[in-house]
Structure 1
Amino acid sequence: MSCARFTEVDRRAFKEGLRAYSPTLMAIFSWGLVTGIAMSKSVMTVPQALGMSLLVYAGSSQLAVLPLLAAKLPVWTVLLTAAMVNTRFVIFSAGLAPHFSYLPLWRRVLIGYFNGDVIFLLFQKKSFQHGYVPGKEAYFWGMAGASWLSWQVSSVAGILLASLIPDNWGLALAGTLALIPIMVSAIATRSTLVAVTIAGIVALIAFDLPYRLALPLAVLAALAAGAAADMLIERADLRRIHDRTGSSS
């Protein structure tokens, strides 16, 4: 978004995005710190860890590939694991595509890089109309900027200060617990509740699968369950309307 196009509406939307994302900052900071510490204490050098944090910017896949790098497994195994963990971003991109399809390719690629789980969740919760909406892109960048800065600052701090931070601090658990209220607040419909429930069950059942397959499987199961729940709810609503119309006539 060029400065010339950064209107008053954009400025307000950007600040709104910052406010919407602010409750998650401590959770993201915790996860970034954990990831930075893990990278620094693995086989990676400090420059390699810093480069991974800046270029990859995907905590789950960063943590997933560290044991593979330590075991000196083939590169294709590392890439496959990272790809499987990040499969959910293909779904996120499909969800954002109708909102930003009018933008040039380089800006859509940039949005794809800065997008994340919580960003996508909060953006969808806003229920924007598809296509161009004044302030919509600025709202996204308000969240994305806050997320990226929080992640990089905490990740770099973890990389540089890893030797000073005890392993038993439990920061990963703190980050997970801090994210739970955000996820719960997003359960606004019955179909969303069904999707979250099914995703949790599938993730638990598939937890021990290799290459972190539990994550993409849980996402796909949630999509299928949510779509099925939407269809059943719609059919039930239509049946009630039909019965009401029939009884009134």
Structure 2
Amino acid sequence: MPPVYDPDAARAEFRAGLRDITPLSLGVALYGLAFGLLAAQVGIKAPLTALMGLTVFAGSSQIVAVERLAAGAGMSVAILAGLALNLRLLLMTASLRDELAGRPLWQIMLGVHLTSDENWGLMHATRCRGGRAGYWYLVGGGTSLIAVWAGATMLGTGFAGLLPDLAAIGLDFAFTAAFILLLRNLWRGPGDLAPWALSAGTTLSVAVLLPVEPSWALIVGGLAGAALAAGRGAAHG
């Protein structure tokens, strides 16, 4: 059965999502600026950086893909490395079957595209506090996040063009700083420890022990961590 659409309730829920996500959006802006600096280092222009943010909208995936390009990896390998790091999004969007059930295709695609760690987690936290948080709350939060992310990355890229040499003023550390910020933001508690540890250990082992390009170590590590997370989720589901 398609969900009953109440325009007033949908608008109120959308606005609540926009409002409640604001503190998290400010954090996204910080590492969006850092990513923009990184993108500029490999020659990506501001409009293309913004377009990447709007179409990919996966911070850790974008950071890893651009970092791999900067390290000399090919385009296809860089994309695979980014995808492997974000396999957790498959599990997150799969958990939205109740919110997406019965909706038209465009709403399903929009909801899936706008789902991120921040608005997905906020939706469930709001529900736990007894608040109204469903599909339109998720979309409202995602709309704020994607706008802030694309805008911040574009600003960071444009700002980098005004600087003579990022390494000379210490901003070449922006890649590492942005990824540290992302990791801290993605950590949801002790339950994440096992998949993270397996992913890191697998990546390190493959990179050290096998004669392969480091991007493949990231891909294998991402797949291993996602497989463990999926198995644990199925066991508890």
Using the size of structure 1 for normalisation, the TM-score is: 0.69
RMSD across aligned positions (CA): 3.1
| Equivalent position of 1:201 in the other structure | 197
SS in 2 for 1:146: helix
2-side partners of 1:153 and 1:75: how far apart? 24
Distance 1:157 1:73, change over 3 A: same
Gaps of 5+ in 2: 207-214
| Equivalent position of 1:160 in the other structure | 158
| Equivalent position of 2:7 in the other structure | 6
Using the size of structure 2 for normalisation, the TM-score is: 0.72
Give the superposition deviation at 1:127.
4.8
1-side partners of 2:29 and 2:138: how far apart? 19
Bigger-Rg structure (1/2): 1
Provide Cα deviations, 1:6-43, integer angstroms capped at 9, x if missing partner. Answer: 31x23332233234322322321122111111111113
**84-93 or 162-171: which moved more?**
162-171
Q: Contact (CA 8 Å) 1:28, 1:151: kept in 2 or not? A: yes
2-side partners of 1:69 and 1:15: how far apart? 38
| Equivalent position of 2:181 in the other structure | 175
* Match among 218, 225, 232 for residue 218 of structure 1: 225
Distance 1:67 1:172, change over 3 A: closer
In the alignment of these two chains, the number of paired residues is 211
1-side partners of 2:97 and 2:13: how far apart? 20
2-side partners of 1:177 and 1:22: how far apart? 19
Gaps of 5+ in 1: 129-133, 188-192, 232-249
SS in 2 for 1:161: helix
Identity of aligned residues (%): 21
Aligned pairs for 1:87-236 within 5 A: 87-127=87-127, 136-163=134-161, 164=163, 166=169, 167=171, 168=173, 171-172=177-178, 175-176=181-182, 179=185, 183-184=187-188, 193=190, 195-208=191-204, 209=206, 210-211=215-216, 212-213=218-219, 214-228=221-235, 230=236
Q: Contact (CA 8 Å) 1:27, 1:174: kept in 2 or not? A: no
Q: Contact (CA 8 Å) 1:27, 1:176: kept in 2 or not? A: no
